[in-house]
Chains A and B, each alone.
Chain A
Amino acid sequence: MKPAAPARLYPAALFNTGWRYLLLRRWQTALMIVGIALGVAVMVAIDLANASAGQAFQLSAESVTGKATHQIVGGPQGLDEQVYVDIVRQKLVDFAAPVIMETVSSPELGNLPMQLLGIDPFADAPFRNYLASGQVPRPDQLTPFFTRPGAVVLSSNMAARYHLSLGSSFLLVIEGRAKPVFVAGLLNPADSLARRTLEGVLLVDISTAQELTGRLGKLDRIDLILPQDSTAAIQTLKPRLPPGVEIQTVAARQGTIEKMTAAFSLNLTALSLLALVVGLFLIYNTMTFSVVQRRAQFGTLRCLGVTRREIFVLVVSEAFLVGVIGSAIGIGLGVLMGRSTVGLVTRTINDLYFTTNVQAVGISLESLLKGAAAGIIATVLTAAFPAWEAASVPPREALSRSALETKTRRAILLTAAIGIGLIAAGVMIFQVRGGGLFLGFGGTFAVIVGFAMFAAITMALMMRLAAPLLGKALGTIGRMAPRNLVGALSRTSVAVAALMVAVAVTIGVSLMIDSFRYTVTVWLEQTLQSDIYISVPGFNATASLGTIDPNVLPVVKSWPGVQRAGSLRTVTLDSPQGPVQVSATDNPDIGKERLYLEARLPTDKVWAAMLDGGILVSEPLANRLGLFDSNRTVSLSTPQGFKPFKVVGIYFDYANSEGSLFMAMAVYRSIWKDAGITAIGIRLLPGADSDQVSRALQDRLGRIQQLLIRPNQALRDEVMAVFDRTFAITAALRVLATMVAFIGVLSTLLLLQLEKQREVGILRALGLTGRQLWGLTMLETGLMGLSAGILAIPTGYALSLILIYVINRRSFGWTLQFAAPVDPFLQAILIAIISALLAGIYPAWRIEKKAAAEVIRNE
């Protein structure tokens, strides 16, 4: 039999000591709460944005692919409609539906990207459910939809938003050409999912779609619903498909894009976690402090017969309480912040990945729960160590603080050793081949914590150095400040670690953005060699795939001042590994106008190799398809079936993260029989003014087609604008992490100084002036800031290397050129010192105000 039943029911009095302690130390508690709240808020905001982007993708995908399991797709110009008719007349599959899709916009509909979805209503019902419920329309109401050109059906919500009603005419801009259409029907989906699916979708009959897009006789794809075991169906179907027409699973098609956005989302999540990590250092710091502060009390409780476990639970429950409140506030804050992050993320996803026609989606409960769980669990876990420390307080009145500090000083070397171990572990994790992003972040975390472990040893060493110097300069106070810090190393080192991590995150992210920007600038200089670029306005910032009217090129070629007009055809072709963006160029200098990660030929031999069927692949594509061994090829779907193309070089490319490749125009045209062009690059004769020529061309070509005609510099500016948009959210995260850090330092210093009041009272009694006390306090905080700043330099540097060479490569497949300007480092040290000094102001002011006796009696 066990001695008197151990705690089943937790003694209420212990809880009382817990929450009253929190109340009593309002400042301390408030700072903890703010720390958690900010961490959680950043996480929730990012998660909401990610969830929203994910949902937007799902909904966009749902509205266009519906319940299809497979798709039949053709080459760059789609597939012959006869393929569908043959399938249906022979009834080769139970469910097949023709689809034509185009991203369009309308000046009357806010110029937002919208999905023009051409369908056959008779075949489409099993695929897409536009009305979850509803009444049957009258037959005569459907007549215009089938018979009249330009008949468009849209949701009544959208119509109401843009003040359209039945019969209203408006213009649709499709590949730069405006086409008149009219509202032939309004859909009132009864349930919200169907409503959201229809958001941004313009439904037209397949005939109307062919006419509006000019794809007469063509379909973009055929959607299929095949039975679970689709092998037999595919085997029947495959031999009956003409060459160049492929059948593939919808999952494979969407998976590629989903994987890309998932990497982007995960990247953001991880950065948001960095903010939480900084917040957790703050929690750890504060909890440790509160435990140290209460050692005597815990000793008494232990004497009174409180068990270790009860003490542990006491501290953890305090953390839990703080975690709950902090998370709750964080969620509220996160939702507010989410409003702007959703916009930023959606924008980036539109720029980089796919055009979503979903503008806003609801707040996902899952994101909120995730934020709450992360906040509470992380707080409790972080508090576990201090709680364990509290539980191990011996049941004796008080182990003197000096003993604890002695212990801490002894542990300095051990901590540093653990730090080295963690950093080594992190670096080893990065070596794991094919390690995903998760491993990458695990490694990052290990390295950061590893560096944080150096806080104590750095401080001890720095103070040893600083004491004599400061002593000479400032006398007793100068000697006292460093000793005080070392004397309270158990707390000061944690505070310095927290501040250091925050500052390091700032440095790391800054360096990454700077390197990225630098890389892109260099890349643009090398890549954009023409003076003027012509393309069809699109919705994806990095690639416009609209076809330029054939009448444009002759006009451009004969334009005065034009030396040479090169053309580019960009299409998406299928490979066994998913769609690949292919650009066919007639620029013989292409070999010299790229920066190579891996050149397999001298640059002047590249064009000849390309005319011979060779291709240049971008780095992300090489990553995606594993093209780093020599003699690798990329298979592309041609009208004669899949055909391999030899890789003759891998070039850096930051235009998209899915990857793209270049081939010679002559090769492309001979295989795909596609004379279309997507972009024109113009070289001007010396002396011609590119702005002037652009304007003149705009006037002339506007009559043929609405085109984007941009001088080199304008295009460059736009790319940089997209770049900055992409990193707007990252920059915002950096600011938030810094804020959390500042609050962390503020709280730590505040606590340290307030705790020292008695000691200060003695000093005061001994005759130190208020000014001297002020100086002492500021000196202490300043030294802490400096320590943190100095340690943050290597940490931030390491972090930026990780972000650039590990995280970004795994997220986007981009290699960045590392650029390390001095500014971020100086900025970081400055931030550290300034926040430390700012944090010292309040305690210094408070101490100065208090009368000596009062300060002493306070104990």
Chain B
Amino acid sequence: MNRESFRVIKPASRWLILLALVAGLACLIWPQQQPAPGPAFDGFAMTPDPGFAHAEGPISFNFPNDFGPHPDFQTEWWYYTGNLQAATGDHFGFELTFFRRALVPPAQMPTRSSDWAANQIYMAHFALTGVRDNSFHPFERFSRGAAGLAGATGLPVYQAWLEDWLVEQTGPRSFHLSASDSGAAIDLNLEDLKGPVLQGDHGYSQKGPQPGNASFYFSQTRLQTKGTLKLGDNAFQVNGLSWMDHEYSTSALDTDQVGWDWFAIQLDDGSELTIYDLRRKDGSIDAYSRGLIVRPDGTTQRLTTVDFAIHPEATWKSPRSGATYPSRWTLSISSENLELQITPYIADQELRLSFTYWEGAVQVQGAQNGKHLAGSGYVELTGYFQSLQGQF
């Protein structure tokens, strides 16, 4: 087996979130209050359909079309995170994510005459982190990928939206993001400085030993960002860097995995870093944990568990969910002679939505070969509130 076949990349956790989507929408329809004896909803179950496409080997991507949706695959997501500064010195973090899940393979979707007949369900998360006032504002929405309520397109122009939350391409390398809810809003223009970075083997990212148990995955790791951000009654002109991940697949999870610690770091030397630990039931770190360095010139270097180590240095206990998350880390990559201190901008960036996880802006200090380095990034922590086991 080659190295690539062992890659289980970070967005696996996002895959879990996506699955939570469908469970979560059920929560929305049938809000959960108290556990009742017996199932409150008994649905007519359909056996998982093998009719979806699978990622079975490297392919060539065609942008901007491949920014758009790939409905032959069951799941897909567009993940935007970023760290922004205002002229006032305020620091903000944002997350805007669109998840898509197909209910049945397109070929098997019955012919329906209503515009509302949906084979695609969309979920989106939007969160703002206000560092100065130590505030965190997570929001969640669901809708169907039909009747124009939610959806994604690649041609003629790349777009993904859910109601009024939107990402759209506005130029060859420029994108526009907008979302708002209850006094929190972003309206940002993103300029891709490096172009899409293919993860794994030219974008083919294998997740387990079986062939086909893999995804297609690419990122935009350095998106120069400019725009406005609103929090409460205040509006800010902001600048900063954003990150985009886009992945699609049709695959099941390995049941031994309970959660992930994922790091996306943008350093001031012009390089970016993706690292994640895959945590197993027994507390050990899965051998599939991986990393990727994107150098200032856009070239990439893949990392495996022998190359890096992540040490949690502190913990934070959520007063809402009661879950205890690691909250400061030392990351060392021996092969690069790099050591980084990673600290959340604020401790509480837990999203207690239909799926509970921690995803927040972090501050990075460190040194490489004795040279001081700094940066910002986003960390995602899953599987601390509930084991993902048995959920799906």
Contact = CB atoms under 8 A, between A and B. Distances in A.
Contacts of A145: 43-44
A756 to B, nearest CB: 71
Contacts of A85: 147-149
Which of A136, A156, A184, A216 is the most central at the interface, judged by chain B CB atoms within 10 Å of its CB?
A136
A153 B134 CA distance: 45
A166 B42 contact: yes
Contacts of A780: none
Interface in A159-184: 166-167, 182-184
Contacts of A146: 103, 117-119, 121, 144
Interface in A89-131: 89-91, 120-125, 129-131
A207 B116 contact: yes
B22 interface: yes
Contact of A136 (B30, B101, B144): B30
Contacts of A676: none
A190 interface: yes
B388 to A, nearest CB: 14
Contacts of B35: 133, 135
Given A122-B28, A207-B116, A149 B41 contact: no
A687 interface: no
Contacts of B112: 149, 207, 211
Which of A91, A122, A135, A166 is the most central at the interface, judged by chain B CB atoms within 10 Å of its CB?
A122
A655 to B, nearest CB: 35
A89 B179 CA distance: 11
Contacts of A148: 110
A141 B27 contact: no
Given A137-B41, A148-B110, A125 B28 contact: yes
B34 interface: yes
A132 interface: yes
B148 A89 contact: yes
Contacts of B253: none
A206 interface: yes
A139 B148 contact: no
Contacts of A143: 46, 103-104
A147 interface: yes
A397 interface: no
Contact of A138 (B36, B45, B121): B45
B163 interface: yes
Nearest to A143: B103
B159 to A, nearest CB: 12
Interface in B125-165: 142-144, 146-149, 161, 163-164
Interface string A212-230: 0000110000000000000
A207 B22 contact: no
Contact of B26 (A132, A142, A149, A167): A142
A231 to B, nearest CB: 20
Interface in B256-274: none
Contacts of B26: 136-137, 139, 142
A135 B32 contact: yes
A216 B117 CA distance: 11
Interface in B86-133: 101, 103-104, 109-110, 112-119, 121
A182 B43 CA distance: 12
A135 B29 CA distance: 11
Nearest to A206: B116
A655 B103 CA distance: 49
Overall SS of chain B's interface:
loop
A295 B35 CA distance: 69
Nearest to B28: A125
Which of B26, B27, B38, B164 is the most central at the interface, judged by chain A CB atoms within 10 Å of its CB?
B26
A724 interface: no
Given A122-B28, A207-B116, A139 B42 contact: no
Nearest to B143: A122
A205 B144 CA distance: 11
A192 B104 CA distance: 35
B114 to A, nearest CB: 4
Nearest to A124: B29
Interface string A175-205: 0000000111111111000000000000001
A188 B121 contact: no
Contacts of A122: 25, 28-29, 142-144
Contact of B44 (A81, A124, A184): A184
A132 B29 CA distance: 11
Nearest to B161: A89
Contact of A190 (B36, B149, B180): B36
A190 B28 contact: no
Nearest to A168: B44
B115 A125 contact: no
A144 interface: yes
A88 interface: yes
Contact of B41 (A125, A188, A216): A188
Contacts of B22: 139, 142
A188 B42 contact: yes
A130 B29 contact: yes
B42 A186 contact: yes
B137 to A, nearest CB: 16
A448 B104 CA distance: 73
Given A120-B116, A141-B43, A130 B30 contact: yes
Contacts of B147: 81, 85
Given A134-B40, A207-B146, A139 B28 contact: no
A211 B111 CA distance: 11
A208 interface: yes
A298 to B, nearest CB: 64
A133 B119 contact: no
B322 interface: no
A132 B35 CA distance: 10
Which of B26, B31, B114, B148 is the most central at the interface, judged by chain A CB atoms within 10 Å of its CB?
B114
Contact of A131 (B41, B43, B103, B149): B41
A85 B39 CA distance: 34
Contacts of B292: none
A658 B104 CA distance: 48
B115 A147 contact: no
A140 interface: yes
A645 B48 CA distance: 59
B142 A187 contact: no
Contacts of A184: 43-44
Contacts of B48: 140
A133 B114 contact: no
A133 B29 CA distance: 11
Interface string B2-29: 0000000000000000010011011111
B33 interface: yes
A188 B44 contact: no
Interface string A377-415: 000000000000000000000000000000000000000
A217 B147 CA distance: 9
Interface string A67-92: 00000000000000100010011110
Nearest to A123: B143
A131 B40 contact: yes
Nearest to B103: A143
A121 B26 CA distance: 8
Nearest to B354: A136
Nearest to A211: B114
Which of A135, A185, A206 is the most central at the interface, judged by chain B CB atoms within 10 Å of its CB?
A135
Contacts of B104: 143, 147
A207 B25 contact: no
A188 B42 CA distance: 8
A116 to B, nearest CB: 14
A136 B32 CA distance: 7
Given A134-B39, A136-B30, 7 more contacts: A122-B28, A134-B36, A134-B41, A147-B103, A147-B109, A188-B36, A208-B114
8 contacts: A88-B143, A122-B28, A131-B31, A133-B32, A136-B26, A142-B26, A146-B119, A207-B146
A-B residue pairs, 8 tightest by C-beta:
A134-B40, A141-B43, A139-B22, A207-B116, A207-B114, A190-B36, A207-B117, A137-B41
